[in-house]
């Protein structure tokens, strides 16, 4: 997946000289996870710019660059550090098109990895995407496969408004097929990762793979679960979720983030509203407990959701 991200950046920069990169250690070091490796040598220091350790400064610079006609892709090396850039992102980038009467947007992308699984501790493992989905003017995407990482990043760079591109760092080493000329993946369109008839599991990021594993386990008991990969969290594809619910009549929503007040809560509330007549069981959520992410491997393993918890939720709603 990390190579797919690199490939999307390379293609976008080769096609459009307005695309520039900003971030900490993204140049010679190639980024903390190698996503920008080789881009400094190919495109030079004017377009691949190492910044000081100041998330507020680099995101503020990205907003200004976007308003000046460039298409910056800024990187915050851990999503936890987005706290330092919230003013530029939430109060400036997200509001610009509205405050300028639609005359000007902020065509920037903010790349940032989230999630646990690496024993990085409570300040380097958080999933904070629900914060950003709550802000009008921001788009938020979270791919689960290398192919979607490449295609969605290209769509994000081409978008005329700010997009937060969330990458699950536990998936960076994941392998998958990537086409030489991939079809465009519009922001806001989900995909059916696995077809089924008995229950719908909605997930995104790493949770998509847990959901697929849960569906395989359930299939051994004759339960065919449909897995939907949201891909885009804001906007999200409520029509695809509703169509699936109309087929299966049971809904489970899985996320790595803390369960309380999360993306899953919004989907559950919306489906309870527009899909109530389709429901034959309770809508259930699977997410992390309401506590910081533990550092110890054993505790982190217990903290993060997994396939077993998703499968248990499916059985519960069917019961």
Q: Note the pLDDT of residue 185.
A: 93
* Pair of tokens at residue 158: 């081409």
pLDDT above 90: residue 181: no
List helix spans (H) across the chain: 2-15, 39-43, 55-67, 86, 96-99, 129-133, 146-158, 206-219, 238-248, 263-274, 297-303, 307-318
Question: pLDDT by residue (tens digit) across 101-115?
Answer: 999 999 999 999 999
Which residue carries 């919306």 as its tokens? 270
Question: pLDDT by residue (tens digit) across 149-174?
Answer: 999 999 999 999 999 999 999 999 99
Percentage of residues in the chain having pLDDT higher than 90: 98
Neighbours of 78 (CB within 10 A): 18
pTM of the model: 0.96
Compute the mean pLDDT over every residue in the chain, rounded to the nearest whole number: 97
pLDDT above 90: residue 86: yes
Q: Note the pLDDT of residue 150.
A: 96
Which position among 24, 75, 124, 300 bears the catalytic label? 124
Q: Note the pLDDT of residue 223.
A: 98
Q: Note the pLDDT of residue 219.
A: 98
Across the beta sheet with 163-168, what order do the strands follow? 48-50, 19-23, 71-75, 109-114, 163-168, 139-141, 232-234
Is 55 a known active-site residue?
A: yes
Under the banding of pLDDT at 50, 70 and 90, the label for residue 180 is: confident
Q: Note the pLDDT of residue 182.
A: 79
Q: What are phi and psi of 92, to 5 degrees?
A: -115, -65
Q: Note the pLDDT of residue 184.
A: 86
Q: Note the pLDDT of residue 293.
A: 96
Which position among 24, 55, 167, 256 bears the catalytic label? 55
**Is there a contact between 202 and 232 (Cβ–Cβ < 8 Å)?**
no
Is 249 a known active-site residue?
A: no
Question: pLDDT by residue (tens digit) across 14-70?
Answer: 999 999 999 999 999 999 999 999 999 999 999 999 999 999 999 999 999 999 999
Distance of alpha carbon 317 from alpha carbon 271, whole angstroms: 15
Question: pLDDT by residue (tens digit) across 209-266?
Answer: 999 999 999 999 999 999 999 999 999 999 999 999 999 999 999 999 999 999 999 9
């Amino acid at each position: 997946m990390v190579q797919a991200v690199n490939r999307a950046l390379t293609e976008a920069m080769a096609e459009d000289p307005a695309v520039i990169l900003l971030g900490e250690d993204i140049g010679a070091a190639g980024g903390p996870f190698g996503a920008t490796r080789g881009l400094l040598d190919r495109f030079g220091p004017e377009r691949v710019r190492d910044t000081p350790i100041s998330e507020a400064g680099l995101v503020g610079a990205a907003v200004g660059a976007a308003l000046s006609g460039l298409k910056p892709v800024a990187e915050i090396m851990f999503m936890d550090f987005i706290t330092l850039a919230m003013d530029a992102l939430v109060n400036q980038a997200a509001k610009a098109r509205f405050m300028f009467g639609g005359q000007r947007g902020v065509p920037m992308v903010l790349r940032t990895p989230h999630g646990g699984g690496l024993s990085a501790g409570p300040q380097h493992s958080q999933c904070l995407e629900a914060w950003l989905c709550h802000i009008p003017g921001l788009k938020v995407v979270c791919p689960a496969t290398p192919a979607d990482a490449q295609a969605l990043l290209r769509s994000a760079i081409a978008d005329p408004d700010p997009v937060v591109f969330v990458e699950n760092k536990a998936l960076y080493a994941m392998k998958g097929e990537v086409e030489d000329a991939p079809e465009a993946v519009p922001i806001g369109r989900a995909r059916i990762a696995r077809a089924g008839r008995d229950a719908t599991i909605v997930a995104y990021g790493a949770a998509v793979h847990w959901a697929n594993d849960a569906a395989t386990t359930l299939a051994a008991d004759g339960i065919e679960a449909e897995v939907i990969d949201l891909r885009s969290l804001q906007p999200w594809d409520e029509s695809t979720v509703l169509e699936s619910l109309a087929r299966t009549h049971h809904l489970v929503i899985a996320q790595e983030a803390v369960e309380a007040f999360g993306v899953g809560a919004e989907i559950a509330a919306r489906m309870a509203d527009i899909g109530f007549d389709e429901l034959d069981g309770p809508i259930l959520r699977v997410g992390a407990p309401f506590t910081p992410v533990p550092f110890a491997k054993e505790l982190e393993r217990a903290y993060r959701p997994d396939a077993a918890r998703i499968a248990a939720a499916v059985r519960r709603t069917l019961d």
